[in-house]
């Protein structure tokens, strides 16, 4: 890959609808690890009907197209696409909710 000379791009959010069963998270995180894609944050919650919605915070770089194509191939991924206008700060604000006061977790 050519060396990136641009400053680190702002993250974008991929939204996935996935089958909710043990192992689906491993399929997704394993894909990122073995294909050397960066994964900056994960939000996931059940939406009913054995489905979960997942937000993945990723870099907007040359690998993005390949990431989306590889995610789309996973059998447990029902849909995947860029979530335009997603509030990326949600991932950072979460820290305040998880750890009010910014201290060490108990």
Q: By CB under 8 A, name the binding residues for other proteins.
A: 22-23, 26-27, 30, 34, 65-66, 69-70, 72-76
User: What is the rounded distance in angstroms from the CA atom of residue 60 to the CA atom of residue 82?
Assistant: 10
Of 52 and 70, which has the nearer Cβ to other proteins? Answer: 70
24 vs 54 by CB, closer to other proteins: 24
Provide, rounded to whole angstroms, the least separation between the CB of residue 41 and other proteins.
22
Shortest Cβ 91–other proteins spacing (Å): 26
């Amino acid at each position: 890959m050519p060396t990136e000379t641009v400053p680190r791009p702002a993250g974008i959010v991929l939204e996935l609808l996935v089958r909710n069963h043990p192992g689906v998270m491993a399929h997704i995180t394993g894909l990122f690890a073995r294909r050397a894609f960066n994964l900056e944050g994960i939000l996931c919650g059940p939406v009913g009907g054995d489905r979960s919605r997942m937000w993945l915070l990723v870099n907007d770089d040359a690998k993005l197209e390949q990431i989306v194509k590889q995610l789309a191939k996973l059998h447990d991924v029902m849909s995947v696409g860029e979530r335009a206008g997603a509030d990326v700060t949600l991932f950072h604000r979460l820290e305040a909710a998880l750890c009010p006061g910014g201290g060490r977790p108990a």
